[in-house]
Amino acid sequence: MKNINKMSRREILKKGTLGATGVAAATLLGSNTLAAQQENGKVFTSQITAKTAFITGGARGIGLAAAEELAKAGINIVLFDIATEDIPHVGYKLSSESDLVDAKKKIESLNVKCLAIKGDVRNIDDLKNAMQKTVDTFGSLDILVANAGVTQVGAIEEFSPQEIDVVYDINVAGIIKTTQAAAPFMKQQKSGRMVFLSSALGRMGNELFPVYASTKWAIIGFAKSAALTYGKDNIMCNVVAPGLVRTKLADNPYVLGKMMPNNPDSTFDGISETLKPGNPIPVGHLEPEDVAKAIALFTSDATNKVTGEVFDVSYGSLSRSIA
Ligand SMILES: NC(=O)c1ccc[n+]([C@@H]2O[C@H](COP(=O)([O-])OP(=O)(O)OC[C@H]3O[C@@H](n4cnc5c(N)ncnc54)[C@H](O)[C@@H]3O)[C@@H](O)[C@H]2O)c1
């Protein structure tokens, strides 16, 4: 096999930013990009990097991990995040402005360009302005990771109308608005990748997360509809459905306290240990990087002709579900 480090820059450009064999190639080409940048001490980033990814909820967690994974493949990144810790009717803190600034620095340290944009997926103008800025700055919008989301825990009758509204406005209407804002650019380009974040709870019922679970089912229905709509424009629309992931969405006092009400000292690792024995592989949770690799797969050449699919990244727990 040809040594990738010995590939000429012309070959790299011809091949594009992602190679032919999915994540492994993407990662390999990422390091190759760095090698090329270091060639003769010159920086070639702008010549090599032809692609741009727009990631909602990119200031931390799965969104930031996806940004890092794609940046390693030489892809320029736009991090779009509400960057406001406290919003009404959400029981835990979202990202702060400094989280978003730190995330941008992290991405830039990977030798790609990064825009950090504060905005709310509930606001179509925020999204349209941010996408326009993306294309004005980088020339294209190739990858959308519709990832921003919030969770809620409790029994069905506990939720106030405002709590129901906020999770639907962000998780469902927010994803639809994000798609509406991105699609015109991708249609014009006649290419694009949209990756939607659902959840293992979008594949089954759950009495502790009934409202959240229903939003995650809705995302799959919408993503499949987007796949039908945009296939003719060469835009692939797929879903990643993770199990429990170590992020601040799950690892916070509000969620942990509701998941284990009889244990005031409940921790994320404690819940992970409790879940482990019930899973086919002895894993109770994922790290954000595990999910990022699946997201990257749906942006790679390996999935050129794959659309409307759901990728369960759930340590085998979905093996018990119907197909
Ligand atoms: N953590 C898990 O266990 C888990 C499991 C399955 C699916 N998911 C899904 O993955 C996605 C990312 O979750 P995470 O675990 O990284 O959560 P997280 O809370 O760590 O990150 C979510 C990010 O979205 C941002 N955000 C929230 N509302 C927003 C809005 N209205 N507009 C713009 N940005 C907004 C937050 O500020 C935060 O930076 C979500 O859709 C979530 O439902 C998470």
Average pLDDT over residues 74-100: 98
Closest protein CA for atom 2 of ligand 1: 245
Q: Is the C-beta atom of 250 inside 6 A of ligand 1? A: yes
Helix (H) or strand (E) segment spanning residue 79:
strand 76-81
Q: What are 132-143's pLDDT values in tens digits? A: 999 999 999 999
Distance from Cα 10 to the centre of ligand 1, integer Å: 39
Using pLDDT thresholds of 50, 70 and 90, give the confidence band for residue 37. very low
The Cα 82–Cα 117 span in angstroms is 8
Using pLDDT thresholds of 50, 70 and 90, give the confidence band for residue 280. very high
- Give, in order, the Cα–Cα distances in Å from 89 to each of 16, 167, 199: 44, 9, 21
Q: Residues of the chain with pLDDT > 90: what percent?
A: 81
Tell me what pLDDT residue 263 has.
84
Closest protein CA for atom 19 of ligand 1: 249
Q: Is the C-beta atom of 60 inside 6 A of ligand 1? A: yes
The Cα 119–Cα 165 span in angstroms is 19
Q: Which atom of ligand 1 is nearest to the CA of 286?
A: 3
Average pLDDT over residues 312-322: 92
Tell me what pLDDT residue 164 has.
98
Judging by beta carbons within 10 Å of its beta carbon (0-12, 13-18, 19+), is residue 28 exposed, middle or buried? middle
Judging by beta carbons within 10 Å of its beta carbon (0-12, 13-18, 19+), is residue 238 exposed, middle or buried? buried
Q: Is the C-beta atom of 67 inside 6 A of ligand 1? A: no
Closest protein CA for atom 21 of ligand 1: 61
Closest protein CA for atom 43 of ligand 1: 149
The answer for 20, left when phi > 0, alpha when psi is -120 to 50, beta otherwise, is alpha
* Residue 37 vs residue 95, higher pLDDT: 95
Tell me what pLDDT residue 265 has.
77
Tell me what pLDDT residue 305 has.
96
The Cα 172–Cα 32 span in angstroms is 38
Q: Which atom of ligand 1 is nearest to the CA of 171?
A: 41
Give the E-state strand segments of 181-295 in sequence order. 192-197, 235-242
Q: What residues are paired with 118 via a beta bridge?
A: 81
The Cα 34–Cα 39 span in angstroms is 9
Q: What are 122-180's pLDDT values in tens digits? A: 999 999 999 999 999 999 999 999 999 999 999 999 999 999 999 999 999 999 999 99
Distance from Cα 232 to the centre of ligand 1, integer Å: 30
- Give, in order, the Cα–Cα distances in Å from 154 to each of 157, 189, 309: 8, 44, 30
Distance from Cα 21 to the centre of ligand 1, integer Å: 29
* CA nearest neighbour of 296 among 56, 57, 71: 71
Domain 49-320 CATH (choose: 3.30.1050.10, 3.30.590.10, 3.40.50.720, 3.40.50.280): 3.40.50.720
Average pLDDT over residues 16-35: 28
- Complete DSSP assignment for 27-47: HHHHHHHHHHHHGGG---HHH
* Residue 302 vs residue 27, higher pLDDT: 302
Q: Is the C-beta atom of 128 inside 6 A of ligand 1? A: no
Decide if pLDDT at 62 tops 70.
yes
Tell me what pLDDT residue 4 has.
32
Average pLDDT over residues 216-244: 98
Which amino acid, one-letter code, is at 99?
Answer: D
Q: Which atom of ligand 1 is nearest to the CA of 120?
A: 32
Using pLDDT thresholds of 50, 70 and 90, give the confidence band for residue 50. low
Q: What are 200-214's pLDDT values in tens digits? A: 999 999 999 999 999
Q: Is the C-beta atom of 240 inside 6 A of ligand 1? A: no
Classify 135 as helix, strand or coil: helix
Count other Cβ atoms within 10 Å, centred on residue 316.
13
Q: Which atom of ligand 1 is nearest to the CA of 151?
A: 43
Q: Is the C-beta atom of 59 inside 6 A of ligand 1? A: yes
Tell me what pLDDT residue 90 has.
98
Average pLDDT over residues 257-274: 90
Domain boundaries, the chain: 49-320
Classify 188 as helix, strand or coil: helix
For 73-190, where are the alpha helices, taking DSSP H only? 97-108, 124-138, 161-168, 174-189
Decide if pLDDT at 228 tops 70.
yes
Q: Which atom of ligand 1 is nearest to the CA of 285?
A: 3
Q: Is the C-beta atom of 241 inside 6 A of ligand 1? A: no
State the chain's mean pLDDT as an integer: 87
Q: Is the C-beta atom of 202 inside 6 A of ligand 1? A: no
Distance from Cα 120 to the centre of ligand 1, integer Å: 12
Q: Is the C-beta atom of 238 inside 6 A of ligand 1? A: no
Q: Is the C-beta atom of 284 inside 6 A of ligand 1? A: no
Tell me what pLDDT residue 322 has.
81
